[in-house]
Amino acid sequence: MTDVPEFLIITGMSGSGKSGVVNVLEDNGYYCIDNIPPQLIPKFAEIAVNVNKSGSSSMEKIALVTDIRGGELFREFDEGLSYLKGQNISAKIMFLDASDDVLIRRYKETRRRHPLDTDGSGSIRAAVEKERNILSDVRESADFYIDTSELKVAELKEAVNALLLNNPLDGISIKVTSFGFKFGISLEADLVFDVRFLPNPFYVPELKNMTGLSEDVREYVMNSQDSVEFLKRLKDMLDFLLPRYKKEGKSQLIIAFGCTGGKHRSITFAELIGKYISDGGYNCRISHRDINRH
């Protein structure tokens, strides 16, 4: 047992599913506290270190939820995080997000008031926009990012497991995903590649209702010099980037491929690149956001 705990700071948009993440972490041995003001993070860190030193208990993995519910207190987020790093305590940030429309729908379904709807006007969209602006810097500094817009409970659990529980906190977790531009660009991606310039199986009757998981679709897409050349250049670029991202300490990398509907070309390239990255020894998972949408 180590005296110094590992901290995971969970934050993000209201209604994005932070409580669901806490449930997953608690089931896997994390000591979790919800809605803690950033000013109390240093004090809690001191308590955790002392508990571990005493040997009376173990608080090696700690997850703290701090978000806009803290009001003005949340504006001292950076100070709380700086204290942990100043004490050489490992601290990672996980940011939970969802599209504006999804967040608004969730609030309407639960009939709860948004924390920033302080005047009771009931304008959820205005509150969401305000919160997104306040959190923009925190989002940029996050080590882990999860877009919960399309995730069911089981899928959220899988996403958290893939990021944290199946991967050391000092490693890099890579997600390769496909999406359809007609359903909106991927919010979570670090690198986005538009593959709409490649041959489209949608216009081939026998391939139209298949997906890029089919060998027939994959062969059609890759039976093009542009596709072959693009794949080669992608691999060369990733061979250059991935070791440098890892060396720099990047915790998560999300690579997204988009085509019109998210069914054929984007899935083909997500599968090919995902396999290439996994074969290179990296922790990589593949997902297809819009594969079941019409």
Q: What is the dihedral of CA 259, 264, 266, 272, to 10 degrees?
A: -160
Whole-angstrom Cα distance, residue 291 to residue 71? Answer: 39
**Confidence label for 203 from pLDDT (cuts 50, 70 and 90):** very high
DSSP letter, residue 212: T
- How do residues 261-272 score in pLDDT, each as one tens digit? 999 999 999 999
Percent of all residues in the chain with a pLDDT value above 90, rounded to a whole number: 61
Q: Is the pTM of this model over 0.85?
A: no
**For 81, what's the count of Cα atoms within 13 Å in the CB-facing half-sphere?**
19
Structural domain boundaries in the chain: 6-170, 175-288
The H or E element containing residue 153 is: helix 153-160
pLDDT for the residue numbered 56: 62
Whole-angstrom Cα distance, residue 290 to residue 119? Answer: 38
- How do residues 228-252 score in pLDDT, each as one tens digit? 999 999 999 999 999 999 888 888 9
pLDDT for the residue numbered 79: 86
Q: Which of 56-60, 212-216, 226-230 has the lowest mean pLDDT?
A: 56-60
CB atoms within 10 A of CB 193: 16
Residue 164 has pLDDT above 60, yes or no: yes
- How do residues 88-138 score in pLDDT, each as one tens digit? 888 899 999 999 999 999 998 888 888 888 766 668 899 999 999 999 999
What per-residue string of b and e applies to 54-90 under the rule 16 or more CB within 10 Å gives b?
eeeeebebbbbbbbbebeebbebbeebbebbeeeebe
pLDDT for the residue numbered 5: 83
Closest CA to 37 of 72, 13, 1, 62: 72
* Better pLDDT: 28 or 17: 17
In three-state secondary structure terms, 292 is coil
From residue 64, alpha-carbon distances to 31, 80, 174, 197, 226 in Å are: 8, 11, 24, 44, 48
The H or E element containing residue 192 is: strand 191-194
Q: Does domain 6-170 have CATH number 3.40.50.300?
A: yes
